[in-house]
Structures are given as C-alpha cells and as structure tokens.
Chain A
Amino acid sequence: MHWPHKDLLSIQQLTSQEIEHIFDLALKFAEINQRPVKKVPTLKGKSVVLFFAEPSTRTKISFDMAGKRLSADTFSLAQSGSSLQKGESLSDTALTLQAMHPDAIVLRHGASGASAYLARQLDCAVINAGDGWHAHPTQALLDGFSLFQVWESFAGKNVLLLGDIAHSRVARSDIELLTKLGAKVRVCAPRTLLPPALKSWPVEIEQDLGRACQDMDAVICLRLQLERQQAGLLPDLREYARHFGLGPAHLSHARTGARILHPGPINRGIEIAAELADAPNSLILDQVSSGVATRMALLYLYLTSTREEA
C-alpha cells in the first residue's frame, strides 16, 4: 500500500481503510513478537529519535522495543530538567535534531500542537506520542487493535469512555478512531471533566455510570490525574471513586463479555476496582502487547513508505 503521510499527528488524518491496513500489519508483527528470536532486519540502518519532553515510561519503552525488533537504531533524547519543557526551546531542539538526520522522531510533549509544530520544521517523519490534551494517535490505534483482535469488526459495537474526557488526549483520539470504524461511543464523567461543546462531538453523554454501562461491549477507563482535585475540578477523590470508579455492579449492565481497557498506569480503586483490572475480560495487558505490534506497524509504514524512497 502506498502510504501518503509524512507524519502521524492525529487520527483525523487517517481514513478507515488506512487504519485497517495498520491493524493488518500489526497482526503480522504481533506474530514476530511470539517467536523465540523477536527480531527482523526490516528497518536496519534507519534511526529513530525518541524525544520525550514529558515523562512516559510505558510509551517510550513500547516505541523503543518496536524500533529495536525491526532493527532500527533508536536514540533517546534526554530530557534535561525544565528547559525542554518550555515551548520556546522546541524550535532550537528541532533544528538540532534536523542536523542529525534521523529518519523519524517520536515526540511526546506537554503542549497541544507541539508535534504539528515540529512536523512543519522537519523533513523526517514525526510521530505524535501524545501532545498536551490534543491527541495520542498511537494509543488510539493500539486500543483499536486490541478490540479488533477480539471483535474483527466494529459495526454495531458500543464503547464507553469513562473518566476525565476534558483533559484526555487518549479520549479525543479514541473517539475519532472508534467512530471512524463504525462503533458508537458514549462518555461518562462529572460535568467538570467534560470538554466544552461536547454536544458537537459524535458521542452520547451519560452522567450515571450504571446507565452509562448499559449495552456496552467495552469500557475504556481513562487515567485520572490526581491534581484535578487541587485544580478545583473535583471536591474529593473518594467521592469520585464512588460515583465514577468502574465496579462489578456497573459492569453488570453491560453486554456479556464486555471488555475493559485502561491506558495505564492505573490508580487502582479510583478509576477502576482492582478485581476488574485483573479480570479475564480485561484487555489491559493485551493493550501493552498490542502497543508494541502497532508501533512496529507504524514505524514500518512511516520509515519505508514510497514517499521516503522516491
């Protein structure tokens, strides 16, 4: 397949066919991950810079492993204190990176739009590994891939996104991906954690968690930043857990075999009851494996596309 994109900035850029193509590739790469020797020479000689201006061990390791299994050289850009956090230095960092001629940069940054900004400055592929509250396309793709492995088709499926929707790049990207693939999406959160103009989004809104779980085929719990309480968005974490923490009683309203997802790391007992996180219908660990396979597929596409070879 000809891959027309230079960068992966958000799910908005991708067609449903392109997303399915990523899933098909990820299935093949998932097979490599089952082999005793988990390494192929596909991306030998390519270099990938992992630039994480905001800490995220999971995503970074996932990309690192994805790159190494395809024999790409991966380099981590150390985040030296606060200077890289500032928007002002991103332009200088971009120029420095450009001069090193990497084939791709994987960027995690606290500012919404940072990856789009970097992509404009650089000739190499830029893969958004999360920017501010804006987008986290690779997380959405791995969430989608986890469900794709179980369902094969998203038509007629209902998915609930539970928790801090307003400040969640995962929620934004998940909603774009799931609706693009034909699933129906519902959201549940206290009003203070819902974004403005939510009515313009293709989602249903339900404040009561029991009712929100009704007829769901999957529940994606979002991570709650504990600082939201200090920001005046929540009175109390215990109260949040009582009303918006997913428990077995809520889930009993869902369709049989409903899957549970969480991007991690989990605040056990706040976003989700501990027994549910470890239950057989939980896909939380599959998400981690899916993450490596999906990112292998993405690095493959963005580093070997016809655009690059031309």
Chain B
Amino acid sequence: MSHLIDKTLWEIISQNTSDTESEWLTEKGKASPIELMTAFVASPRFLSKKIVNVEIEEEKALTDAVAGFSVNGWSLVRLSRVWLLTQLDETEKETFIKNIETLFDTAEMNELVALYSALPVLAYPEQWLFRATDAVRSNMGFVFDAIALHNPFPAKYFSELAWNQLVLKTIFNDKPVHFITGLEERENANLALILSDFAHERWAAGRSVAPNVWRLVSKFMNEQLLSDMKHLFESRQTQNQEAAALACYDSDYAPAKALLSSYPEFEKSIDEGALTWSNLEFTDLNTYVPTLQR
C-alpha cells in the first residue's frame, strides 16, 4: 500500500466527516481484522449519506500515486470503506487474502462497489484478477460500473481477452465507453473486429450502436471496417456520419482517407477542430434505456 494513497484518502475523509465520524473510522482502522471487517460492513450505520468533495490537489496526488485512480463523485461510505481496506493488515499474505475474500463472498451491492473500487490500491493485485473479471460478468449495473468505468485496474492487469470482454459489454450495455480508463492504450485489432461483428448483429435487429464506439477502429481500418464506415455515412444519421468521418480521419488506411474526401464538410469541420470524438460522448449510465437508440 502506497503511503501517499493512504494519506491522501484520509485527508479527503477528514475534510468530509464530523469529529464523531472520523473518530469512529480512526478507531476501526486500528482494530483487529474482524472488527475492521465488521466496520466495513456497518459503515452506512455510522457515516452520513453524502458525496465527498475532493480538492484538485488531492485528486492530483491520487493520480500521481496510482495512474488513473480517482475518487471523484464517490459517496463518503464508499471512500471510507476503501480507506478501511487500506488499513487492513497485509503483512501475512494468506490471512489478508482470506479476509478480503470473505468480504467479497458476503458482500451486498454497495460493498461490492467499494471492494472493486479498492482493487487498484489493494496489496497483491494479481490475486484479484479473477474477482475483477467476475465483476465484468455481473448483471448489477452498479457493480459492473465499479470495475469497468473510471477504474485503472483492468487496463493494467487484464489479458486482451478479458479486456475485450469488458469493453464489449460496456458497449453492449450502451454505457459510455470513454469512461473506461486506458481505453486508447489497450485498443487492439481483435476488439475492432469484434465490434464490427457486434454492430452487424445490432443492425440486423434494426437497432443501433452508440456512434462514439467507432473511435476504437481507426488504427485497424481494413476492408471490412471500411464497409462499416460506408454504412455509417449512408445511415443519414448525423452522429453516425460524424463517427465515420472521425474514424476515417484518424486512420492511416488510404481507402479510408479517400472515403472521407467524398464528405468534405465533415473533413473541414474536423480540420477546424469543431468536430471531435467528444461531440459524440454521452454520460448516461442507464443500462436498459439507451438514449441513442433508434
């Protein structure tokens, strides 16, 4: 456990808690493992329901310590739970792992969210790989989001297969793909092709894919993907056309450049900086009611 993380988390907590609350946490943080674990469970009974305020310097300190780690928008309970986990004695590997596994096994939804949020700062990171991939299989939106979005653990530790599952399931659930930490660094040709297949299934069913996801294909543009770009250009939906234009613009594949040149108004707008991927980004995490469908 990085001392800096631990210290910064506590700074944020102390700015967001009453004396009674921070005293309770301090006491539990020093307690025996079983008492600390019970405190992890019982936190909502002792801490107020609120979203924490995080100063810019603290935010920066966290990201400097663990790239991509952020507690922005977290509830006090979630943050305190993660802090409590950082206080759990990790000197004996076996015991530490057993304790964390027990918490996973008996966790309710919000505890799972806290546990998955803590993975980037937990000792023995390779131990949590299975748990992390299991969270991607979760049907509970909150749990899935905790591992998939704004969490640096998957980009750092997932295999390509597990990573592609994570990205594809985010797309499948119509969640904002740009909230995935490390999305660009972990782009790969397989993912681009799976995405193309997936889009074809959606199109066959008369459904659509969030335009924003086509940012994943530029580097891997080939004949198959180019035909998808044509399909998007011809869809007569502006956002699809913009996505195709951006994907072609970012690509080094000559036929993609040629295709884009037949849509000069989009090319111009990208050149001028008026059209970027951020125009197509959306923030709705609603799993079942995609805003961009149809």
Q: Do A and B assemble together?
A: no
What is B's interface to A at a CB cutoff of 8 Å?
none
